[in-house]
């Protein structure tokens, strides 16, 4: 086991004076991250313009929020330009709409490393390129900011032309509220690879399969699907909240003796060597670019494969049970923020 290396996490205490003082920021894209970051930057005292393509469906909302909405090429003339469009179109938008407007000494900010690592994005010399990746969806980034808190973020320097890239990244992260919790230094490769792996192994792929498998085993054994749903899925919220707040040890301090004994004596039978081997193969596909190529192929076929797999999943018993029970068991679903996806990246929703 490697020794735990506790990194230096940059927080508000590490700054003095205002952030991005005297610099203008152009935010390109006004979706989940774009809208949240533009609003937070403005509330931190930064001068922001929003760059959108002609006929953009989000223009109305950006104008409604009081932003100066300009063409992408004009937003790209700001001192700091945050390119917050979907990763699959990002290199194209950069090359065709931004690159012609850029000049030496500007900073390009990205919220995920995917386009740099796997999308072929190339930025000319003379431009600083940094990553500031909030660890959560835009809606939460904005909500936390307005209540005086924030989301943590990862930051990295990809290209340092001016010698100031790291400082700009830190100040940008602070201006969107992330230093209120903490800025974690990383590299583009690390952020991108861990982000994709975590979505696949835990946040989306792992958790859904764990629930489905447990549900199927109970139903096969003759138990009531509604009860199986409540015990295996609905009650997950408690565990997730405790683990999120207190870590795994803190969660174990707070559950019943019976639950703890079951965890310690049975958990390894559920996630054993076979699952770990599967995770290693998943990580290898991420690192080698095999996953990115498959995704690109699916996007080029208008998501055919994704849609077919989703349709099959919708036909499972669990899906039919949840259609009935989720609204009953969770009557206040409206207050859960929309626009989330587990990690950075490759959202299917627009
Ligand atoms: P989004 O889909 O919510 O918003 C994208 C915006 O780009 C919209 O305003 C859309 O109108 C605009 N757009 C789409 N195609 C365009 C085009 N061809 N030209 C110009 N504009 C176009 O995207 P998002 O989730 O905010 O993702 C933006 C970046 O943030 C990505 O790099 C993503 O990986 C990263 N990120 C997202 C999350 C998240 O939870 N959503 C978290 C961390 C990082
Ligand atoms: Mg992520």
Return the domain boundaries, the chain.
Answer: 9-186, 196-335
The answer, yes or no, to whether any atom of ligand 1 lies below 6 A from the CB of 156, is no
pLDDT of residue 330: 83
Q: What is the pLDDT of residues 220-270, one digit of tens each?
A: 999 999 999 999 999 999 999 999 999 999 999 999 999 999 999 999 999
Please give the mean pLDDT across all residues of the chain.
Answer: 93
Q: How confident is the model at residue 76 (pLDDT cuts 50, 70, 90)?
A: very high
pLDDT of residue 331: 80
What is the DSSP secondary structure assignment for residue 199, as one 8-state letter?
I
**Residue 105 pLDDT more than 80?**
yes
Tell me the two tokens of residue 178: 């992330």
Closest to 127 in 3D by CA, of 99, 141, 108:
108
pLDDT of residue 341: 44
Name residue 109's beta-bridge partners: 82, 130
What is the DSSP secondary structure assignment for residue 299, as one 8-state letter?
H
Q: How confident is the model at residue 334 (pLDDT cuts 50, 70, 90)?
A: low
9-186, CATH topology level: Rossmann fold (3.40.50)
Out of 8, 96, 112, 158, pick the active-site residue: 112
Q: Which atom in ligand 1 lies closest to the alpha carbon of residue 350?
A: 2
CB 68 within 8 A of CB 173: no
The answer, yes or no, to whether any atom of ligand 1 lies below 6 A from the CB of 206, is no
**Residue 209 pLDDT more than 60?**
yes
Find the 87 Cα to ligand 1 centroid distance in Å: 7
Find the 264 Cα to ligand 2 centroid distance in Å: 29
Ligand 1 pocket mutation, candidates 28, 29, 98, 178, criterion most atoms within 8 A of CB: 29
Tell me the two tokens of residue 144: 């936390």
Told to judge if 330 belongs to the known catalytic residues of this protein, a careful annotator would answer no
| CA separation, residue 176 to residues 38, 62, 165, 259 (Å) | 8, 17, 17, 40
The answer, yes or no, to whether any atom of ligand 1 lies below 6 A from the CB of 119, is no
Find the 347 Cα to ligand 1 centroid distance in Å: 8
Q: What is the pLDDT of residues 252-263, one digit of tens each?
A: 999 999 999 999
Question: Which residue's CA is minimally distant from atom 1 of ligand 1?
Answer: 31
H helices present in the chain, as ranges: 32-43, 59-64, 72-75, 90-93, 114-117, 138-146, 165-175, 188-198, 205-220, 225-229, 236-254, 257-270, 273-288, 290-300, 304-314, 317-329
């Amino acid at each position: 086991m490697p020794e735990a290396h506790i990194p230096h996490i940059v927080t508000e205490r590490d700054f003095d004076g205002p952030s991005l003082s005297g610099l203008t920021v152009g935010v390109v894209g006004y979706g989940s991250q774009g809208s949240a970051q533009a609003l937070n930057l403005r509330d931190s005292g930064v001068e922001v313009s929003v760059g959108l393509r002609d006929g953009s469906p989000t223009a109305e909302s950006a104008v409604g929020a009081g932003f100066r909405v300009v063409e992408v090429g004009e937003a790209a003339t700001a001192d700091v330009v945050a390119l917050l469009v979907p990763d699959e179109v990002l290199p194209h938008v950069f090359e065709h709409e931004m690159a012609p407007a850029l000049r030496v000494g500007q900073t390009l900010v990205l919220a995920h490393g995917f386009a740099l690592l796997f999308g072929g994005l190339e930025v000319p010399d003379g431009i600083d390129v940094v990553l500031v990746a909030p660890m959560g969806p835009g809606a939460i980034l904005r909500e936390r900011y307005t209540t005086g808190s924030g989301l943590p973020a990862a930051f990295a320097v990809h290209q340092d032309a001016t010698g100031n890239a790291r400082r700009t990244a830190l100040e940008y992260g602070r201006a969107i509220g992330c230093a209120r919790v903490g800025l974690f230094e990383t590299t583009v490769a690390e952020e991108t690879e861990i982000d994709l792996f975590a979505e696949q192994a835990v946040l989306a792929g792992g958790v859904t399969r764990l629930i489905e498998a447990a549900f199927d085993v109970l139903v096969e054994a003759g138990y009531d699907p509604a009860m199986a749903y409540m015990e295996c899925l609905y009650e997950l919220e408690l565990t997730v909240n405790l683990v999120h707040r207190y870590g795994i040890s803190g969660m174990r301090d707070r559950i019943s003796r019976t639950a703890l004994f079951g965890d310690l004596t049975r958990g390894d039978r559920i996630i054993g060597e076979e699952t770990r081997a599967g995770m290693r193969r998943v990580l290898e596909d991420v690192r080698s670019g095999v996953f990115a190529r498959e995704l690109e192929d699916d996007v080029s076929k208008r998501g055919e494969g994704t849609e077919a797999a989703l349709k099959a999943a919708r036909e499972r018993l669990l899906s039919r049970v949840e259609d009935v029970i989720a609204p009953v068991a969770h009557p206040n679903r409206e207050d859960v923020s929309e626009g989330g996806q587990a990690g950075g990246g490759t959202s299917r929703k627009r």
